[in-house]
Chain A
Amino acid sequence: MKILLWSLIALALTGCATQQPVKTDMSAFQAAAPRSILVVPTINKSLDVDAPNYVLAALPVPIAEKGYYVFPVNTSRYVLEQEGYYEGERIHQEATPTLAKLFGADAVLYVSINRWDAQYAFITTTVTVEFDYRLVSKDGTEIWKASKRMMYQPQNNSSGSPLAMLITAAVNAAITRAAPNYMPLTQQANQQVFILGPTAIPDGPYRAAALKQ
């Protein structure tokens, strides 16, 4: 009990100071200063045919919470299908200005799924997701990119960092070995890339406005 108390105190004191090593260059992003982001269906390089839809479902919340208007992903997908774009591959080949104009978007987010798999071994199961992210402004300039791999292995939870331990605990609860659930990993990858990590995008207009109040 005592130990628990002290560790909680220590944690509370250190709070959430995440060290940010090298900050990504955001000048292109800031020059474009997008207000709205269109998230188009993803490219899938994994073997799981369902992965693109799941990734699509997990993208809007963190980006909107960062203060941007995110076009409704399911509705956007519906519109793209009406326009004859069914495959992520086909959409990613289309010129960004064309897509941006169709929706009136300031920037388009392209995500490709590189890995989305579970490797089963005797005792451990390793679940891996890996994504490439690319934001292109409506004039066709790439303004930001990032990539993230997240792995989960049930035993590996003594990495020292309290935040990492908390994350592992959260993932632990969500993943059962029988049916690996990729969503918590995907959500963490998005959190890391857009909000917590060194590639975090600047606050969008709606978050900036909320912070001023």
Chain B
Amino acid sequence: MRFLLALLALMLLGGCAAPTLYQWGGYDQALYAGYKDPTKMEALRLQLETHVTEMEKSKQKVAPGLYAELGTLYLQSGSAEKAITLYSKERDAWPESRTMMSAMIQNLERRQQAQAGSEK
């Protein structure tokens, strides 16, 4: 009886939801929390970092935009190098992002060169 009930409940839950294409690792909730309280943006960065690493380890596709979002969080905390790496990953994973990602990478590289130039 109990088993039957559980089975039915499972059917019910499974029946509705179309299978999801991606795993988001709590991205929307964490972004919401970050907007609500900007000190939580750091938590979003850590959460995305963990999620992306897990996805790569298990050879699953990272959901659209997540590499780039993580890159921007690194950029905003002062790590342009990491941002460039992540923007390149977004560009390679999603051809639709090429225009945007290439522009951002170019921009950062130019900025880095200018900085290197002024330090000489």
Mark interface residues in A135-175 (1 if CB within 8 Å of B CB, else 0).
00000000000000000000000000001000000000000
Given A72-B72, A79-B104, A195-B18, 19 other A-B residues pairs in contact with their CB atoms under 8 A: A4-B5, A5-B1, A15-B16, A16-B15, A50-B35, A53-B32, A54-B36, A57-B28, A61-B28, A64-B21, A67-B21, A72-B68, A74-B31, A74-B69, A74-B72, A75-B65, A79-B100, A102-B100, A163-B16
C-alpha gap A70/B96 in the complex (Å): 9
Q: Which residue of A lies closest to B73 (CB)?
A: A74
Tell me which residues across on chain B come within 8 A of A74, comparing CB atoms: 31, 69, 72-73
The answer to whether B27 and A69 have CB atoms under 8 Å apart is no
C-alpha gap A147/B28 in the complex (Å): 22
Tell me which residues across on chain B come within 8 A of A72, comparing CB atoms: 64-66, 68-69, 72, 90
Is the CB of A133 closer than 8 A to any CB of chain B?
no
Mark interface residues in B11-48 (1 if CB within 8 Å of A CB, else 0).
11001101111101001110110011000000000000
Q: Which residue of B lies closest to A72 (CB)?
A: B65
Tell me which residues across on chain B come within 8 A of A71, comparing CB atoms: 65, 97, 100
B residues with a Cβ closer than 8 A to A are 1, 4-5, 8-9, 11-12, 15-16, 18-22, 24, 27-29, 31-32, 35-36, 63-66, 68-69, 71-73, 75-76, 90, 94, 96-100, 104
Tell me which residues across on chain A come within 8 A of B71, comparing CB atoms: 75
Tell me which residues across on chain A come within 8 A of B29, comparing CB atoms: 183
Mark interface residues in A79-107 (1 if CB within 8 Å of B CB, else 0).
10000000000000000000000111110
- The verdict on A78 contacting B72 (CB below 8 Å), with A12-B11, A57-B32, A58-B32 known, is yes
Tell me which residues across on chain B come within 8 A of A50, comparing CB atoms: 35-36
The answer to whether B21 and A65 have CB atoms under 8 Å apart is yes
Q: Which residue of B lies closest to A64 (CB)?
A: B64
Chain A-chain B contacts (Cβ-Cβ < 8 Å), number? 109
The answer to whether B9 and A57 have CB atoms under 8 Å apart is no
Q: Closest CB of chain B to A109's CB: distance in Å? A: 14
Q: How many residues of A contact B (CB 8 A)?
A: 43
Question: Which of A64, A78, A183, A210 is the one whose CB lies under 8 Å from B32?
Answer: A183
Q: Closest CB of chain A to B71's CB: distance in Å? A: 7
- The verdict on A15 contacting B31 (CB below 8 Å), with A8-B8, A210-B21 known, is no
- The verdict on A57 contacting B68 (CB below 8 Å), with A8-B8, A9-B8, A104-B100 known, is no
Tell me which residues across on chain B come within 8 A of A183, comparing CB atoms: 29, 32
Q: Give 26 pairs: A residue, B residue, CB < 8 Å, sorted on A.
A: A5-B1, A8-B9, A12-B8, A36-B96, A53-B35, A54-B35, A56-B35, A57-B31, A57-B32, A60-B64, A61-B27, A64-B21, A64-B22, A64-B63, A64-B64, A65-B22, A69-B64, A71-B100, A74-B69, A74-B72, A75-B68, A78-B72, A104-B97, A104-B98, A104-B99, A206-B21
